[in-house]
Amino acid sequence: MAADTETDRTSVVTYVPSHQKTEWKNHAADLGMTQAEFIRTMVQAGRKDFTLETENPVEPDSPTTDPGGDDLESQVLDALESNDALSWDELVKSLSSDFEDRLESCLEALQRQNRIQYSGRNGGYTTIDQ
pLDDT value of residue 63 = 53
pLDDT band for position 3 (50/70/90)? Answer: low
Give the domain extent around 109: 83-130
Same-domain status, 120 and 96: yes
Q: Does position 61 have pLDDT exceeding 70, yes or no?
A: no
Region 50-62: what's the mean pLDDT?
49
Same domain, 53 and 88: no
Between the CA of residue 78 and those of 51, 57, 73, 115, what are the distances in Å? 26, 25, 9, 36
Give me the number of domains the chain comprises: 2
- Of the two residues 84 and 116, the one the predictor is more confident about is 116
**Domain presence at residue 2:** no
Please check whether residue 9 lies inside any domain of the structure. no
Question: Is the domain of 92 the same as that of 62?
Answer: no
Q: Is-above-0.95 flag for pTM?
A: no
